[in-house]
Each structure stands twice: as structure tokens, then as C-alpha cells.
Structure 1
Amino acid sequence: MSPEMRLIRLITLKLIPFLILLYLVAYIDRSAVGFAKLHMGADVGIGDAAYGLGAGLFFIGYFLFEVPSNLFLQRFGARRWFARILITWGLITMGMAFIQGPTSFYVMRFLLGVAEAGFFPGVLYYITQWYPVRHRGKILGLFILSQPIAMMVTGPLSGALLGMDGMLGLHGWQWLFLMIGTPAVLLAWPTLAFLPDGPAQVAWLSKDEKRWLTSELDKDVQAFGQTSHGNPLHALKDKRVLLLALFYLPVTLSIYGLGLWLPTLVHQFGGSDLTTGFVSAIPYIFGIIGLLIMPRSSDRLNDRYGHLAVLYALGAVGFFCSASLTAPVLQLAALSLAAFSLFSCTAIFWTLPGRFFSGASAAAAIALINSVGNLGGYIGPFGIGALKAYTGTLASGLYFLTAVLCIGLLMTWFVYNRLERKLTMKAYSQA
């Protein structure tokens, strides 16, 4: 193994498992509402349309506070800011156990988005401080493994916690929120104690290794023409940022549309809450397989847009088949294809912003791209809920996601031609 690969492996072992754990907890906290909805609606009077609206309001809070959060991360450092995020989102998740109706559900979901805003884009920015561009595809693939793992864990865990219905006078969905919010609060202390703010602060890298890493990151700035604005807020006016944000929108819209409605779809197959939980985990196994294969392939071939185009197309096929087929096994297979595609898309997409921006500008750009993109987390659940309420079937929502991914496929060609055609040709000529 080369010295470079040994160093990359060391950094990965020191940082990525803990970051995966943190995002695993975050994703469970935000997505368990899909399982709580199976019984919460009847207990506190929340219908499909109200659930879709409330589930999506998380992303409105996220959108409004994401850029300020990433700029505070730049100011206060990763360990302190991530610890703050963990405490607030954990307490608000626990507070979801005490909602009384649609209004309080809306408020708490919005506040959860405000509290968690900045964590995912903050980690993306944090990774740009540790890894040269050529290694980021596989590293982001490893980090984003926490998303499908969380969805796999959420299903059986939620099914088991819903089975606690009646204990100490609480409903099962109340136990669900109380139990999944607690780990976030408990993880704040090890985050403060052990997570370094950057390479300069760690003792496990030698001076030569730190110099090499700084040199390689500087080379990326030159090779890719990365922009670092004097005022990072100027990145928010950069046309490249807005275009990448729109390019990301179909991915998030589809992922959250799938994640927040999958339990309802699987529940229609029949079976207990626990069975629904286990069956709902199956598509995310394929999401994990995709993340282990596709980002590495993208790094090896130095190809981002070709991989994204194929994955958008496969995701569209998966959603279309899941809507048009009637056999539960075939529907589940089609949803597994969609999950394989969507999670792989996420990892490969997030290699793109770091090719254009560095420093505080990267923090602001990543935050804005993610905040605009995550409006899909509002549009997806709400749109599917509204379509289901209007048509009486989830198939209409799945056709909607099919159309969204077809738009993403067309945008792949447009973004490549507008942003990176010359850059990509240059990279191939130098390979």
C-alpha cells in the first residue's frame, strides 16, 4: 500500500465511523415519523395530507437555517457546533412524543429541521478539509452508508418500540420518539471530547503528513479552479451553486418521498408492525450495495455525470415498475432498484461542489445546495400525501417520483454542458 493510501485509510478510520454513527442517529430521528404515523394519526387526528405537510415542514426549517448553521460551523469549529446540533435535535425529537394534534405536529417538525440544519452539509464541508478531490467519491459513499443503514435499523426498531403501546400509560409511537431522541443527546459529550476541528489539531498525523495533505488540497484549488470568495456569502449568488442545487432536488425529493411513505406502502402488503419494519428494511440493503459499488466506480473511472445519468434512469424505472406492478414481491424488487440508484446518486453528486469551491465559500455553497435541494424533502412527502388523498392510491405518488427522476436525467446533460465539459475533457487528457 502506498504512503498516500495508508494516510487516507488512517484518516478514514479515525473520523468516518464516528461520523457515520452521528448521521445514523440523525437519520433515524428524522425518518421514524413514517412508522409513528401508522398509529399516531388515529390517536391525535392527523390524516394523510396533514402528515405529508408536517413531514415536509422539517425541510422548511432546514432550508431557512442551513446556510447560517454552516457559517457558524466555520466560526466555532466542528466539534462544538456538531455537539450543539446533537443536543437540540435530540430534545426536540423526544418532545415529539407529546404532540396533541396537527398544529403541534407542524411546529415540532419545523423546529426539528431548524435544530438539525447544518449537520449533513457541515459534515460534507468537514470532509473537504481532510480529503483531496480524487478520494471523495468513495469516502462520501462510506459516510452516506448511514442513510440506508438508518432506514434498515429504523424499521425493526420502530416496530419493536410501537409494540410498547400502553406501558406507563404511553402510546407506542410516544415511546418511539422518546427512545430515538435520547442517543443524540448522549452523543454530544463524545463529540466535544474526541472529534477534531481539523487536521492541524490532531496528534495522530505527523508534520510531514499534515504538510502533504495541505499541499494536495492546494493542488485541487489550482487544478479545478476552485473559488474562495472574500465574503463567503457571495457564494450564494454564484450561478453554479443555484444550478447544482436544482440538480440535487430530484434526488432528495425522491429519497424522502420513498422513505417517509415506504412504511405505509409495505403495511398495505399485510402483516404486523414488526413485519412491516423488517420488510421495509429490504430496499435499503440494496441502497448499501449501491453505495459500496457506484461511488468507487465513479472515482476509478473519473466519471461523475455518466454514472449519475445511469442512476437517474434506473431510479425512474424502479418507481415506475413499483407503481404499475401489483404483486408485493415485484413491487418490493422495484423499490429496491430505486433505493440502489438514489443513495448512489447522493454520494456521487456531493463530489461536485468541492470541485468548484474551497474554504468558507465551500461551506456556504454546500449549505445552500443542500438547503435548496432538501426542499424536495418537503415537496416529496407533501406531494405524495396530496396525490394519495386525491386518488386514493399511492401509485399516483410513485408515478410522480418517476417523472421527477426523468427531469433529473435531463438535467444531467444540461449541468455537464454548462459547468464541466471542458474541465472533464482536460482531466481525461491528463489521466
Structure 2
Amino acid sequence: MDFEKNVIRTVTYRLIPALILLYVVAYIDRGAVGFAHLHMGADVGIGDAAYGFGAGLFFIGYFMFEVPSNLLLAKFGARKWFTRILLTWGLITMAMALTQGPKSFYALRFLLGVAEAGFFPGILYLITQWFPVRHRGKIMGMFVLSQPIAMVIAGPLSGALLGMDGMANMHGWQWLFIAVGLPAVLLALPTYLYLPDDIKTANWLTTEQKSWLQNELVKDESEYEQTRHANPLHALKDKRVLLLALYYLPVTLSIYGLNLWLPTIIKQFGGGSDLRVGFLSSIPYLFGVVGLLIIPRSTDRLNDRYGHLGFLYAVGAFAMFLSAWLTSPVLQLVALSAVAFCLFSTTAVFWTLPGRFLTGSSAAAGIALINSVGNLGGYLGPYGIGLLKEYTGHMAAGLYFLSVVMVFGLILTYFVYAKFEKKKSEKTTVSEQAY
């Protein structure tokens, strides 16, 4: 047991902080457009519906190129492919400062999605290649911490950068895009030099540790009846993959709908400076961090995924409803904090599911498809809220819409449980009776 703890601890310390850093940079990049919208719309003529459409186009590019990107990652290795992703997305984000109107905004958002495609599912695939199933709940929780941590940083940082309006004859939102894109470019070379491609090339593990880790991953294939398709593209036709893709859609739709509109929601609380809006926008994400420190560890300890997911969807849907129904800014912020607690925890728990039945390049293809279909919610959420806000004149309609979406996620929890765990439980019972 001490040997196992030492191996997992070594791998965790060597990989997870670096991956968290990279994804913090990516997530700050994603959230920046929500803050830029506070002023960019008026400066270059982008309305609420156009903003929602353009913000969502990122995920269309992501959707179209995610599976090919993850398969190329499996072929070329993480360090080379992540280096390419960092360079291209960083440069395109900086180019967002050149936005002149809706058309250039649409084009750059789409290209940004193409550039970053495969990064998040690539990291998830990497985790399945390094950690046995029984450790993945905690590891996923640690990694997904990067999302709310990024948004905690993004709020005050974006507010401060927007305050640079007029410096060097540039708008504050232009400074914002340059500042959040530059770290990705600067981290490209360190990423290439630091990340190992696989267990065999990790010179910080002993031969015995490498052998043990590889054997544990092989045992998981047998114990969890994991599938390794001869052609990894066959994973795209696996009904379990398609069901999980649908199941992931409500959480991405809700989380990106909230992320990209939260600064606008906070602004409507009563105005205030951009810096004040930035700090207030950070509060819900602090509760997201708390959720990720509690819920994934609880799922590992109790060996329960679906009970936790059902609870999170139910509470999240109710809290989202309250955030629209309540009129007190303080109570609205409390409700939004509960929503963030549930959404980020749901993300971490969900991503322990695909690796329970897929492995190897099949996992790369399957995870990419699940994430790409799920991330269509990143298009539907912001765009849907933008349309509803423009039609009704109020943000409440968009929040009610997200509440219904999370109820749909709650309903799907039963069907996913019946497909994955109920049948497995019945099969085990039949085997025991036969014995």
C-alpha cells in the first residue's frame, strides 16, 4: 500500500500541477470574452445576440476538430501536441484585440475553437493513461479545480485590464485579449521540455514503479471490461459513448452559459466599476473550488457516482431557478454560488465515467467525442441566453432556461445509471447465484 501511495503521489506531483497551470491559462482565456463584452460591444457594434452567437462559435470549431485532434495526440504524444495547441490558441487570442465588428469576431472565435480543440479531452485522456480507475475521482477533482481557480483569477484580472482603457491608444478589452493570450505562447516551450509522452519515457519513475503502474492499468481493462477497439474510430459508434455525450450536454450548456454571462449578470446588480464586477464574479467560483475539494473524494470513498450526480443536478437546477426568481442581489449571488458548487463538481465526477469502459486510443476517440458533443452546450448556452435576453429584456429568462436544462440532466442520470451500473449489478448477482 505504501508503494502504491508513493507511485501515485509521484505521478500526481509531476503531472497534475503542470496540467492545472496550463488549463488555468486556457480557462482564463475562455472567460475573458465575457468581460470584454462589457465594453467591446459598444466599441465595435456587437449586440447581445451577436455576442452570444460569436461566443458560442468557439465551441463549433472545437466540436468539428476535437476527435481528429485527440487522435493526433495519441499518435504524436502529449508534449508535442500540447505545444502546438498552446502556440496557436495563444496567438489567435491575442489577435482578438484586432476585432473590428461582428464578422471578424465570429471568424476569430471559430478559429480559436479549432486551435484549442483537443486540449481538455487530451488532458482527460492523459489521466486515463497514468492513473488506475480507483484513483481517478480524486485526480479529476484536483484537475477540474483549474476551472473555478481560473475564474477566481479572471474576475479581478479582467477588471484591472479593462481599466487600462486609453493606454497606448488601445481599448481595455484589447489589452485584456493580449494579456490572456500571451501566457499560452510563453508556456509552449516549457511544456515541450517538461511533459513526458508516456510511462515508458518518464525518467522520474523507477523500472519497478513503471512496471507496477502499467500492470494496474492492464488489470483495470479486465476488471471494468474496458473496450479497446481495433479501429479507435469505432468508439464513435459505441452507444455508451453517445449516451454519455448526451448526458454531458446539460452541464456544459449550463456552465458556459453561466461563465460567459456572469459578468453581465453581476453588472446588473447595480453597476459599479469593472474591478468591482470582477471581484464579485469571483465569489461563485470560490464555492466551485469548495465543491471540488469535497465531492470527488466522497465519490471515491463511497464508490458512488450516480447518486452524487443526481444530487448535484437536482440542487443545481433549484439554485439556478432561485437565481432568476430572487430579486435581492445578495441572495442571487448566494444562489449562483450554489450553482457553481454543483456544476464544477458534476464535471469532475462525470469524467470518471468514460475511463471505466474505454482504454487506449479508443479512450482518446471516445472522450473527444463526448466532450465535443457536450461542448455544443458551450454554443447553445451563451447563444440561447443572448437571444432570450434580447427578446425579453431580462436575464431571468436565460437563467430559467438553464434551470430546465439541469432538470433534463437529472432525468438522464437515471437512464445512464440503468445502462452502466444497473445491468452490471444484475450480471454480478446472477454470477454469484450461479456460483
Verify same fold: TM over 0.5. yes
> Retained in 2: the 8 A contact 1:93–1:181?
yes
Query: 2:209 maps to what in 1?
Result: 209
Q: 1:85-134: per-residue Cα shift (whole Å, max 9, x none)? A: 00000000000000100000000000000000000000000001110001
> Retained in 2: the 8 A contact 1:152–1:281?
yes
**Amino acid across the alignment from 2:6:** R
Following the alignment from structure 1 to structure 2, what is the Cα–Cα distance between the partners of residues 56 and 95?
18
Following the alignment from structure 2 to structure 1, what is the Cα–Cα distance between the partners of residues 137 and 60?
28
Task: Work out whether 1:96 is the aligned partner of 2:96.
Answer: yes
Task: Work out whether 1:349 is the aligned partner of 2:344.
Answer: no
Paired residues, what number?
A: 430
Query: After the TM superposition, which residues 1-400 of structure 1 pair with which residues of structure 2 at under 5 Å, given as runs?
Result: 2-269=2-269, 270-400=271-401
Following the alignment from structure 2 to structure 1, what is the Cα–Cα distance between the partners of residues 426 and 278?
46
Following the alignment from structure 1 to structure 2, what is the Cα–Cα distance between the partners of residues 427 and 387?
48
Deviation at 1:422, TM superposition (A): 3.2
**Amino acid across the alignment from 2:353:** L
> Retained in 2: the 8 A contact 1:57–1:113?
yes
> Retained in 2: the 8 A contact 1:54–1:105?
yes
Deviation at 1:206, TM superposition (A): 1.0
Identity of aligned residues (%): 71
Q: List runs of 5+ in structure 1 lacking aligned partners.
A: none
SS in 2 for 1:38: helix
Q: 1:128-173: per-residue Cα shift (whole Å, max 9, x none)? A: 1110001001101000101001111111000000000000000000
**Amino acid across the alignment from 1:176:** L
Following the alignment from structure 2 to structure 1, what is the Cα–Cα distance between the partners of residues 30 and 409?
25
Q: List runs of 5+ in structure 2 lacking aligned partners.
A: none
SS in 2 for 1:203: coil
> Retained in 2: the 8 A contact 1:141–1:344?
yes
Deviation at 1:198, TM superposition (A): 1.1
Name the CA shift for 1:127/1:425 in 2 (closer, same or farther; >3 Å). Answer: farther
Deviation at 1:420, TM superposition (A): 2.1
Runs ≥4 residues deviating over 6 A = 425-430
Q: 1:358-412: per-residue Cα shift (whole Å, max 9, x none)? A: 0000000000000000000000000000000011000000000000000000000
Deviation at 1:425, TM superposition (A): 6.5
Deviation at 1:423, TM superposition (A): 2.8
Deviation at 1:2, TM superposition (A): 1.9
Deviation at 1:418, TM superposition (A): 1.6
Following the alignment from structure 1 to structure 2, what is the Cα–Cα distance between the partners of residues 231 and 422?
26
Following the alignment from structure 1 to structure 2, what is the Cα–Cα distance between the partners of residues 423 and 332?
41
Q: 1:240-286: per-residue Cα shift (whole Å, max 9, x none)? A: 11000000000000000000000000011121100000000000000
What is the TM-score normalised by the length of structure 2? Answer: 0.97
SS in 2 for 1:423: helix
SS in 1 for 2:130: coil
Following the alignment from structure 1 to structure 2, what is the Cα–Cα distance between the partners of residues 197 and 260?
34
> Retained in 2: the 8 A contact 1:250–1:407?
yes
Superposition CA RMSD, Å: 1.3
Query: 1:405 maps to what in 2?
Result: 406
**Amino acid across the alignment from 2:383:** F
Q: 1:314-361: per-residue Cα shift (whole Å, max 9, x none)? A: 110110000000000000000000000000000000000001100000
SS in 1 for 2:131: coil
Following the alignment from structure 1 to structure 2, what is the Cα–Cα distance between the partners of residues 402 and 62?
25
Following the alignment from structure 1 to structure 2, what is the Cα–Cα distance between the partners of residues 43 and 273?
16
Following the alignment from structure 1 to structure 2, what is the Cα–Cα distance between the partners of residues 17 and 419?
32
**Amino acid across the alignment from 2:131:** Y
Q: 1:273-302: per-residue Cα shift (whole Å, max 9, x none)? A: 000000000000000000010000001111
Q: Which moved more, 1:281-290 or 1:197-206?
A: 197-206
Following the alignment from structure 2 to structure 1, what is the Cα–Cα distance between the partners of residues 422 and 159?
48
Q: Which moved more, 1:418-427 or 1:331-340?
A: 418-427
Following the alignment from structure 2 to structure 1, what is the Cα–Cα distance between the partners of residues 172 and 147?
24
What is the TM-score normalised by the length of structure 1? Answer: 0.98
Q: Which moved more, 1:204-213 or 1:319-328?
A: 204-213
Following the alignment from structure 2 to structure 1, what is the Cα–Cα distance between the partners of residues 99 and 425?
51
Deviation at 1:426, TM superposition (A): 7.3
Name the CA shift for 1:12/1:427 in 2 (closer, same or farther; >3 Å). Answer: farther
Name the CA shift for 1:278/1:183 in 2 (closer, same or farther; >3 Å). Answer: same
Name the CA shift for 1:234/1:44 in 2 (closer, same or farther; >3 Å). Answer: same
**Amino acid across the alignment from 1:50:** A
> Retained in 2: the 8 A contact 1:224–1:423?
no
Q: 1:19-48: per-residue Cα shift (whole Å, max 9, x none)? A: 000000001111100000000000000000
Following the alignment from structure 1 to structure 2, what is the Cα–Cα distance between the partners of residues 427 and 131?
25
